[in-house]
Chains A and B, each alone.
Chain A
C-alpha cells in the first residue's frame, strides 16, 4: 500500500480513478476496515490538502459544505448552526471530541453505515450531493444517491453538499446507549416551515432503522398543513411508530425501536428552536426523552 497527498482536486481525481486506490478523509472508518482486512487498497489518496474540500460557504441561496469538513468544523460554524440546525445537532451527538476532530461529513456519507448520524439531517435539509468523476461534475439529491448501490462508481470523488438556505427550521435527536461514543440505535431528523401556525414543507427522516437513512414521505404528508400544537407532536410520534414498524418488519430490534421512536421524534421536535416556546414545548419537555428511551 502506498500513500499520496495531492494538493488539487484535479490531481486527487486523477489519482483516485486509478484502480485499487481509495480516498482517505479522516480515516475513522477506513483505517479500521484496512486493519481488519475488510477492504484492501493498493494506495490511499489523502484529501486533507485539497483546500476547497474543507470549506463551508454561504452564498446566494445555498450553503456549500465541502466533503472534507470535519464534524468539529461544522460545529464551530455559526451559519451552519443557524441554517442547518439538524445537521449541527447530529454533528454534536456524533462520536467524541477526538473523533469529531478527524471524521468528515464526506466520509460519513461515503462509508454510509445504517447509523451514519449526518444522513437523516442532510436528508431533511434537502441536501444535494456534488460528485466528481472523469465525466465531469453532477449534482444529485442525496435521497436519490442513497437509493443506489453502490452509491457511486469507484473513483468518484464526493466534493461536498449543497443545502438551500432559509428553508425553515430543523431538529435532530438520537437514541444511543450512552451520551458519548454511542452509535445511534435510532435517530430522527425533522424540518419544516411555519406558516400561520401551521406546518408546511414537512420532512422527516430516520437513521439506524434499516440499511440506510431514509425520508418518510408518508409521514411528511400526514403532518403537512397541521396546526403546530401539542396534537402535532402526538400525531408525529404515533405515526412514526408505524413508519418504523414497517421499515423494520421482523427484525429483532423492531419491537424496541418502534416504541422508542416516539421518544426520539418528540425529542427531535423539541430541538427545533421555534417549537421550544409556548405551551406545546412545556408539555414536551416534561414528557421528554427518558420516558420512552
Chain B
C-alpha cells in the first residue's frame, strides 16, 4: 500500500506492507534508527515518537494509521551546535547512561514542554511515566526535564 507522511518536516511517499509498524518504516525504510525497539509491546517507550503533537509508541502504530500524519523523531530535533534544550539538559545533567531509552525520553519531554512550558514536578513525572529506563534510576532524567523547562522559558 502507498502512504504519505511528513517525517521531521519532510514529505515522504512510501510503498509499505499493511503489517508494517511506524517503527519499522522509520527504522527499516527511512533508516532513522534513533527510534528504538525495546519491547515491541507498548510497554517501554523506547520507540516513542511525536505524531501530530502527541507522543505515541511507534511499535503500536500501523503503517496505515500513520498515513497523512506528521511525525517527529529524535533525528528531527537538534544537531551538534544547535541542540534542543531537552537534549542539552540531558547532556548536562548526566541523564544519559546506555542511551537506549534516551531518544524516547527526549521526545516525551519535548512533547510535554511544547504543550506546557512550565510543568510542575508531578506533571513531569506523569509525562515521563511511559518511558522505562533500566540504567539511571530516573532521577537525573527528571532533573534534566526540569532544567530544560527552565531553558525553554528564556
- B48 in contact with A98 (CB, 8 Å): yes
CB contact between A44 and one of B18, B21, B48, B129 (< 8 Å): that residue = B18
Which DSSP category, helix, strand, loop or mixed, fits chain A's interface? mixed
- B64 in contact with A44 (CB, 8 Å): yes
Chain A residues with CB below 8 A from B40, complex form = 35
**Quick check: is A254 within 8 A (CB to CB) of the other chain?**
no
Q: Which of A11-19, A24-32, A190-198, A262-270 faces chain B?
A: A24-32
**Quick check: is B127 within 8 A (CB to CB) of the other chain?**
yes
CB contact between A102 and one of B1, B19, B60 (< 8 Å): that residue = B60
**Nearest residue in A to B61 (C-beta to C-beta)?**
A27
Chain A residues with CB below 8 A from B41, complex form = 32
- B61 in contact with A102 (CB, 8 Å): yes
- A180 in contact with B129 (CB, 8 Å): yes
CB contact between B42 and one of A1, A2, A5, A98 (< 8 Å): that residue = A98
Chain A's interface size range is: 20 to 34
Chain A residues with CB below 8 A from B67, complex form = 5
- A72 in contact with B54 (CB, 8 Å): yes
Chain A residues with CB below 8 A from B18, complex form = 1-3, 44
Instruction: Take A98-B55, A98-B57, A181-B130 as given contacts and tell me if A46 and B21 are in contact as well, using a CB distance cutoff of 8 Å.
Output: no
Q: Output the least CB separation between A247 and chain B (Å).
A: 28
**Nearest residue in A to B53 (C-beta to C-beta)?**
A101
Instruction: Take A1-B19, A3-B1 as given contacts and tell me if A97 and B108 are in contact as well, using a CB distance cutoff of 8 Å.
Output: yes
- A3 in contact with B130 (CB, 8 Å): no
**Residue-wise interface mask of B (1-45) relative to A, using a CB-CB cutoff of 8 A (1 in contact, 0 not):** 100000000000000001101000000000000000000111101
- Give bound CA distance, A34 to B40, whole Å: 13
Q: Output the least CB separation between A286 and chain B (Å).
A: 22
Chain B's interface size range is: 20 to 34
- Give bound CA distance, A102 to B18, whole Å: 18
**Quick check: is B56 within 8 A (CB to CB) of the other chain?**
yes
- B42 in contact with A101 (CB, 8 Å): no
- B129 in contact with A3 (CB, 8 Å): no
Which residues of A79-101 have CB atoms within 8 Å of chain B's CB atoms?
A: 95-99, 101
**Quick check: is B98 within 8 A (CB to CB) of the other chain?**
no
Chain B residues with CB below 8 A from A181, complex form = 43, 129-130
Chain B residues with CB below 8 A from A32, complex form = 41-42, 60
Chain A residues with CB below 8 A from B42, complex form = 28, 32, 95, 98-99
Instruction: Take A95-B130, A180-B130 as given contacts and tell me if A101 and B62 are in contact as well, using a CB distance cutoff of 8 Å.
Output: no
**Nearest residue in A to B128 (C-beta to C-beta)?**
A97
- A3 in contact with B108 (CB, 8 Å): no
Which residues of B92-146 have CB atoms within 8 Å of chain A's CB atoms?
A: 108, 126-127, 129-131
Q: Output the least CB separation between A277 and chain B (Å).
A: 23
Instruction: Take A2-B18, A72-B54, A102-B56 as given contacts and tell me if A48 and B65 are in contact as well, using a CB distance cutoff of 8 Å.
Output: yes
- Give bound CA distance, A2 to B1, whole Å: 8
**Nearest residue in A to B41 (C-beta to C-beta)?**
A32
- Give bound CA distance, A3 to B21, whole Å: 13
**Quick check: is A77 within 8 A (CB to CB) of the other chain?**
no
- A31 in contact with B60 (CB, 8 Å): yes
Q: Output the least CB separation between B83 and chain A (Å).
A: 23
**Nearest residue in B to A95 (C-beta to C-beta)?**
B130
Chain B residues with CB below 8 A from A99, complex form = 42, 57, 60, 130
Q: Output the least CB separation between B151 and chain A (Å).
A: 22
New A-B pairs, 11, CB < 8 Å, besides A28-B60, A72-B54, A97-B108: A24-B62, A27-B60, A27-B65, A28-B42, A31-B61, A32-B41, A48-B65, A97-B126, A98-B108, A99-B57, A102-B60
